Amino acid sequence: MKSAVRFARPFAKRGMWVEVEQITAQVVQQGLAINEYYLNVMICAYAAAQPKQAQRAEAALRSASKAGVQLNEYIMNSLERVLGRSRAAELVRELGLKKPTKRQDKQPTKDRGAARQDRQRGHAG
């Protein structure tokens, strides 16, 4: 699945959702299940498309949800880009999914200059 994600991502960034859907069909044909990484790539393609492909994004989330793919903050952010915040939240509620929370476990990072100075002084950083 990692190679499919890597292959589809450049198309997704350009909004080339038809190409991403063709890759998706090949992935499914090979018997691979869509995971959260690939779902995010799909939704990114729909968000970057001109015009945005809201109905396709909703259909992808519905299908993935039925298949057991878990919603994460990256998928939620992409979904909000294509549907808007309120519609994305409404869809998540409708599907009975739990809206992911922003990662709180990240430690504040020092700027590069401060980290470099710490290393030069022999401090862990």
Calculate the dihedral angle through the C-alpha atoms of 66, 72, 78, 83, rounding to the nearest 10 degrees.
50
Q: What per-residue confidence (pLDDT) applies to 115?
A: 61
What are the domain boundaries of the chain?
2-121
Angle at 69 between CA 11 and CA 57, to 5 degrees: 45
100 pLDDT tier (thresholds 50, 70, 90): confident
Nearest to 76 by CA among 67, 66, 65: 65
Burial of residue 20 (number of CB atoms within 10 Å: 0-12, 13-18, 19+): buried
Asked if pLDDT for residue 109 goes beyond 70, the answer is no
Give pLDDT tens digits for 39-80.
Answer: 999 999 999 999 999 999 999 999 999 999 999 999 999 999
